[in-house]
Amino acid sequence: MDGKKSTEPSPESIARANRRRLDMEDGARAIAEVERNAIAVRKNMHRLRALREAREAEQSAQPPASAGKRTKAGRTSERQSSERQSPERQSNDT
């Protein structure tokens, strides 16, 4: 044995090189997919932001619909006070 390496690659080194090449291709595909998803998310965020800003601009341009003070439930305070009356009082009012 003269100790020189053969110029032909062994089957193991060929298999290793193929696995490495396939892994690199898979990694490049995965990175491209992540970038495409990120672009899609940014486009959707931009679209939703434009819709929200348009809705807010429209709401700020319109005067308030009613003069009654609104509560958290969305009812006017007069209506709530009449609903709080006991059933006897409501029957007397009619």
What pLDDT was estimated at residue 42?
98
Check whether residue 57 and residue 71 sit in a common domain: no
Please give the model's pTM, rounded to 2 decimal places: 0.49
Contacts of 76 (CB under 8 A, 6+ apart): 66, 68, 69, 70
Check whether residue 73 and residue 92 sit in a common domain: yes
Check whether residue 23 and residue 56 sit in a common domain: yes
3-34 pLDDT tens trace: 567 788 999 999 999 999 999 999 999 999 99
Check whether residue 83 and residue 39 sit in a common domain: no
Check whether residue 81 and residue 94 sit in a common domain: yes
Check whether residue 29 and residue 46 sit in a common domain: yes
Pairwise CA distance, residues 28 & 19, whole Å: 14
Strand partners, 2: none
Considering the domain boundaries, does residue 2 fall inside one? Answer: no
27-63 pLDDT tens trace: 999 999 999 999 999 999 999 999 999 999 999 988 7
Pairwise CA distance, residues 38 & 53, whole Å: 22
Check whether residue 52 and residue 79 sit in a common domain: no
Check whether residue 53 and residue 21 sit in a common domain: yes
Output 15 or 83, whichever has higher pLDDT. Answer: 15
Contacts of 63 (CB under 8 A, 6+ apart): none
